[in-house]
A and B are shown apart, each in its own frame.
Chain A
Amino acid sequence: MMMNGTVIAVASLYFLQALLICVQNFFGPRALLFGIPIPAAETRDPAVRRIRAQYTILMGIFVLMMAAACFALIRYLDAAHAMAYLLTALLAQFPLSGLAIAICRQSALRLKATRGWQVPVENRRAAIISSRTHRSPVLGLPWFGAHLAVIAVCVLIAIVKWNDIPVYFAIHRYANRMPDWYTWYSTKSIGSVFYENFGQLIGTGLFILLNLIIGRTRTSLDPKDPEGSLQKQIRYKRINSFLIWGISLVVTVFLGLFQAGRLYSFQLDLWIHFTLVLLLTVNLLLLGMLIYSRVKGLDQLRDLSSQGNHHWKIKGAVYSNPEDPAIFVPKPYGMGWTVNIAKPTGRLASAAIVGVPILLLVWVWLLIM
């Protein structure tokens, strides 16, 4: 049975992520209601607010229903099994959010038809042609040297302490700190000793790729204020880049701690709990970023090239515009970017975004079975 501490940690993480998803529609451009353009004067209309609240209520119901089902399943399980169910529940929040968005978008379309809103389409486009005086929107590769330094330290310690590492070592312990020799142990080899270091390297590579993608996302400027909107875009991308850098560094350090706990009997036997702390930290960082962007007005920039409703397919969930050369475009609600699936690279990126978490989930399930 899971300890009370674990239950609290699991529940906190689940609800913190749910909170992030539930409130996302209160961030992003106010002039868009689930992707539907609304007149600037109507953004504070009670009906508009009701539709925004509708999403939060719908998601709240979904989240609570899933939480109840999840709790019923995991209350008598150990932390590892609970973790697998938790990951499933966490990932399930995304398709449920898509369903809630589709419902709210229909409400927004009905409201638009009732009110007869006609929002003029901006036919001008602006772009920066010479960026001599502007800093890069994302952190450079040298910043990821910190990750490589952490990995190098972990590898060096493992090499120095090679003879101290036992031939057999437990990789999981029970709540009473007794090693689990039946299902979770390894024999000493290069693969098992440096297992986390490979993970650190792959993870760092993926985060570097993500950082590059942020740098490549469209810089959509407001023709009325190109300099101001450019500065906002640079700041917004830089915050995201810092966030990616920070999260990836925390992940790298945590993997190093797992390795230490595994190899040197360092008192980190309850590393599942550390994973929860890690995920909680990531969610808190994301929440902090959302609030900061809102306070500074960095989330109010609209992407002009993807403003046509007809480009948003499957109830507004997917952007598909073959005329748009951009692969990563800003989302019309919430924050962040989405993929243009009309492009082959966009389809590949979408497959990776959906496929990687599913593969991760399958891997976790196979591991604990």
Chain B
Amino acid sequence: MFIELDLQSDTPLYEQLMNQLIEGIASGALKPGDPLPSVRNLAENLGINLHTVNKSYTLLKQDGFLQVHRKKGVIVQPDAMPGVTAEFEAKLFRQLRSLAAEAAVRGMTEEAFVNQCRRLYGELL
């Protein structure tokens, strides 16, 4: 699996990296227990700061998507993935609400909005 970062994007690099790793797990490109490159190795290959990669890994570890293994280094969570927590629901609600509002203002129908959500969800799995 490859990741691609856009240095000019408004989305911070650590967030782009986190999003793509989660997408990789959702699509099955990254399987439970798969080793990830070390912070240094990934930062060197991308030519970005070590702290950026470290921040992404740390946040994903805190959320329960990654685990630090004594021998293998950073790996994809080999046990159960984090469930739907109250924090996640709050984040989902917040982000969807603003997107739904913008879609409504732009004249997008409810059906079209829901269809887009359904299509994206289906594509990831």
A350 contacts across to B, CB distance below 8 A:
none
Q: Distance in Å from the Cβ of A236 to the closest Cβ of chain B?
A: 15
B30 contacts across to A, CB distance below 8 A:
129-130
Which one of B2, B20, B29, B40 contacts A226 once the chains associate, using CB atoms below 8 Å? B2
Can you pick out 17 interface pairs between chain A and chain B where the beta carbons lie within 8 Å of each other? A125-B7, A126-B2, A127-B3, A127-B37, A129-B20, A129-B42, A130-B24, A218-B47, A219-B45, A221-B2, A226-B2, A305-B47, A325-B44, A325-B47, A325-B48, A326-B44, A326-B47
Q: Residues of B at under 8 Å CB distance from A?
A: 1-8, 20-21, 24, 29-30, 34, 36-37, 40, 42-50
Are A325 and B49 in contact (CB-based, < 8 A)? yes
Are B47 and A129 in contact (CB-based, < 8 A)? no
Q: Distance in Å from the Cβ of B122 to the closest Cβ of chain A?
A: 23
Which one of A127, A132, A218 contacts B2 once the chains associate, using CB atoms below 8 Å? A127
Residue in A closest to B42 when the chains form the complex, CB atoms: A127
What sequence of 0s and 1s flags, for each residue 122-135 of chain A, a beta carbon within 8 Å of any chain B beta carbon? 01111111101000
Which one of B6, B21, B43, B49 contacts A129 once the chains associate, using CB atoms below 8 Å? B21
Are A130 and B1 in contact (CB-based, < 8 A)? yes
Are B5 and A227 in contact (CB-based, < 8 A)? no
CA A124 – CA B5 in complex, angstroms? Answer: 6
Given A130-B30, A218-B47, A325-B43, answer yes or no on A124-B3 (Cβ-Cβ < 8 Å).
no
A-B contact count (CB 8 A): 76
CA A255 – CA B22 in complex, angstroms? Answer: 54
A129 contacts across to B, CB distance below 8 A:
1-3, 20-21, 24, 30, 36-37, 42
Decide if the interface of chain A is mainly helix, strand, loop or mixed: loop
Residue in B closest to A303 when the chains form the complex, CB atoms: B47
CA A324 – CA B1 in complex, angstroms? Answer: 23
Q: Distance in Å from the Cβ of A57 to the closest Cβ of chain B?
A: 35
B5 contacts across to A, CB distance below 8 A:
124-126
CA A305 – CA B5 in complex, angstroms? Answer: 12
Inter-chain pairs besides A129-B20, A129-B30, A326-B44, 7 sampled, C-beta below 8 Å = A125-B48, A126-B3, A126-B4, A129-B1, A129-B37, A219-B45, A226-B4
A221 contacts across to B, CB distance below 8 A:
2, 45
CA A90 – CA B47 in complex, angstroms? Answer: 35
